[in-house]
Amino acid sequence: MTTQQVLIVGLGLIGGSLALAIQKNPKVQVIGFDLDSHTVRKAKKLGVIHDMAFNLEESAKKADFIIFATPVNATLQLMNEAQNWQLKKGVILSDTGSTKKIIMEKASVLKQLGLTFIGGHPMAGSHKSGIEAAKAHLFENAYYMITALENENEQQIQKLETILHPTKGKILRVSAEDHDHMTAVVSHFPHIVAASLVHQLAGENEEYPFTRQLAAGGFRDITRIASSNPIMWRDITVQNRLELVKQLDKWQNEMDTVKTLLMQAEPANIEHYFSRAKYVRDELPITSQGAMYSVYDLYVDVPDYPGVISEVTGLLAKHLISITNLRIVESREDVFGILVISFQTAEDRKRAEKSIHQDTNYETYIS
């Protein structure tokens, strides 16, 4: 088998992590391009890519695969430009965008010109961004959605899946329409809900200033995703607006149901509503990443005395377990507080839980 040339356009967290993952295949040569030439040089220095590209059109000529790890609007522009590039026969183009219908509509235009474009969306992320945050294991156990045109050549799809195999992601083929609907339900719409809750808090805080202080605990957890990049979510919302409007209609119907429950004030019905929600939520998988960036949090009940945090973090350091974040949800005198520790992977969290159980009598749980 000859060496496959893979050109990755966009060397941020996703593009960089993809480059690191697929270069595990010794038969793959990764070329990296970014509008920021400093980022390209840094990627080379860090070993994220094998070769640097500073002229996209020239580098595209020798690529067997071209993956646009760019925002959707930028990808659409690149797809327009690609129509005029001199490309290898049989080259496969793909992307990593979080909305697919608009991308695949453009892909059908490329198909008429003899170009193969197969959509992709690795459903993984991180609390960090940029090439420095790139990790080869970022996509492990995450769903990697593949969206191909209905009449796409099966062999071409399999070639792309083979290139993506070293990511250790769970490759799943779906239609662009199904992709956008499902991600609207479990990712895009929840971001809108989280943002709306924060807006409601801001309004209440004007009349009740202490509300903001009370929101430091569970409210922060519920609305964590509202801290995401506003520009990125502006674009996603516009691109998937029709699906989001449908979800908003369903949400308003759901809120009407809740309002009726409250007005009727039947304890059994209200309890059933919460019981049903608890059952469905508890059945959600916790061993793999979903559509949103997963936070691998471990909750530890700790007594409130000086040094307890350093005791726990020292224990984790002894076992060489890295953490990404640390916070106290509640800590009062004579009351157990909740220490929330965030990890990069589910495996790190599992190791930490085992270590804490072995070395202390503190209770741990996963929310």
Report the pLDDT value the prediction gives residue 106, as an integer from 0 to 100.
Answer: 97
Residue 309 lies in a domain: yes
Q: Is residue 335 part of a domain?
A: yes
Specify whether 15 is located in the same domain as 142. Answer: yes
- Residue 290 is assigned to a structural domain of this protein: no
CATH code of the domain containing 66 = 3.40.50.720
State residue 27's pLDDT score: 95
| Ordered per-residue pLDDT tens for the chain, 367 residues | 589 999 999 999 999 999 999 999 999 999 999 999 999 999 999 999 999 999 999 999 999 999 999 999 999 999 999 999 999 999 999 999 999 999 999 999 999 999 999 999 998 876 678 899 899 988 988 899 999 999 999 999 999 999 999 999 999 999 999 999 999 999 999 999 999 999 999 988 888 888 888 776 678 878 888 888 888 889 999 999 999 999 999 999 999 999 999 999 999 999 999 999 999 988 887 655 555 556 678 888 877 678 888 888 888 898 888 887 787 765 444 445 678 888 877 788 889 999 988 888 788 887 6
CATH number for the domain that contains residue 252: 1.10.3660.10
Q: φ and ψ at 365, to 5 degrees?
A: -155, 160
Model-level pTM?
0.79
Contacts of 189 (CB under 8 A, 6+ apart): 244, 247, 248, 251
Q: Does 333 share its domain with 270? A: no
Number of domains in the chain: 3
Are 264 and 318 in the same domain? Answer: no
Give yes or no: residues 37 and 133 share one domain.
yes
In a domain, 288, yes or no: no
81 and 15 fall within a common domain: yes
Measured distance CA(358)–CA(87) in Å, rounded: 58
Given 239, 255, 282, which residue is the final one in a domain?
282
Q: Are residues 164 and 215 in the same domain?
A: no
- Residue 55 forms part of a structural domain: yes
Whether 254 and 300 map to the same domain: the answer is no
Q: Is residue 291 in some structural domain? A: no
Q: Is 348 exposed, middle or buried (0-12, 13-18, 19+ CB in 10 A)?
A: buried
Of 225, 249, 282, the residue that ends a domain is 282
Q: Are residues 38 and 143 in the same domain?
A: yes
Asked if 15 and 108 sit in the same domain, the reply is: yes
Same-domain pairing of 31 and 150: yes
Query: Are the C-beta atoms of residues 351 and 314 closer than 8 Å to each other?
Result: no
- Kindly state whether residues 315 and 263 are assigned to the same domain: no
* CATH number of the domain enclosing 313: 3.30.2130.10
Asked whether residue 264 falls in the same domain as residue 302, the answer is no
Q: Could you say which DSSP state residue 46 is in?
A: T
Helices (H), the chain: 13-22, 37-45, 56-60, 72-82, 101-112, 154-164, 176-183, 189-207, 211-214, 218-222, 230-239, 241-264, 267-282, 308-318, 346-359
Determine the structural domain holding residue 152 and report its residue range. 4-174
What is residue 65's predicted lDDT score, i.e. its pLDDT?
98
